[in-house]
């Protein structure tokens, strides 16, 4: 599998990552190598195999009751936020 610069630019956009001009050829090369490396999986016969859904057989994701279980601690959590105003996270304007 060989990716082009355009492919990597597209992947970086989907992943919301800014990649510099200098980084781009490095990722074109290493991502192509990784995808070629994982192509050896095609040799495995998996026609009648179920994809694995959980590392432990028979276990399913547990659900909890839909009840309030945490106290409000937004001041503590928002202490880590880059920009807060009136308990709201501030981002650049998104609606014109």
Partner 1 sequence: MSIHLRSVAELAAGLQSREFSAVELARHFLARIDKENGALNAFVTVTPERALADAARADAVRAAGKAGPLTGIPLAHKDIFCTDGIKTSCGSKMLDNFVAPYDATVVARLGAAGTVMLGKTNMDEFAMGSSNETSYYGPVRNPWDRSKVPGGSSGGSAAAVAARLAPVATGTDTGGSIRQPAALVGISGLKPTYGRVSRYGMIAFASSLDQAGILAPSAEDCALLFAAMAGFDERDSTSVDAPVPDYVAALGAPLKGLRIGVLKEFFSEGLDSATGALVEAGIAQLRALGAEIAAVSCPNLPLSVPTYYVVAPAECSSNLSRFDGVRFGHRCERPRDLMDLYKRSRGEGFGAEVKRRIMTGTYVLSAGYYDAYYLKAQKVRSLITADFRRAFAEVDLLAGPTSPTPAFAIGAKVDDPITMYLNDIYTIGANLAGLPAMSVPCGFVGGLPVGLQLIGPHFGEARLLTAAHAYQRETDFHRRVPAAYA
Q: How far is the CB of 6 from partner 1 (least distance, A)?
A: 13
**Dist. CA 88–CA 82, nearest whole Å:** 11
The string over 63-95, giving b where at least 16 C-beta atoms fall within 10 Å of a residue's C-beta and e elsewhere, is eeeeeeeeeeeeeeeeeeeeeeeeeeeeeeeee
* Count of Cβ atoms closer than 10 Å to residue 23 Cβ: 13
51 binds partner 1 (CB under 8 A): yes
27 binds partner 1 (CB under 8 A): yes
35 binds partner 1 (CB under 8 A): yes
88 binds partner 1 (CB under 8 A): no
What residue ranges bind partner 1 (CB under 8 A)? 8, 11-20, 23, 26-27, 30-31, 33-35, 37-44, 46, 49-56, 59, 61-64, 73, 76-77, 79-83, 89, 91-94
């Amino acid at each position: 599998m060989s990716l082009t610069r355009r492919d990597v630019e597209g992947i970086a956009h989907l992943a919301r990552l800014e990649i510099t001009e200098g980084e781009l050829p490095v990722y074109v090369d290493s991502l192509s190598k990784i995808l070629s490396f994982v192509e050896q999986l095609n040799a495995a016969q998996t026609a009648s195999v179920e994809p694995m859904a959980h590392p432990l057989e028979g276990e399913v994701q547990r659900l909890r009751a839909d009840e309030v279980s945490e106290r409000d601690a937004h001041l503590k959590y928002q202490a880590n936020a880059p920009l807060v105003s009136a308990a709201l996270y501030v981002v650049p304007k998104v609606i014109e």
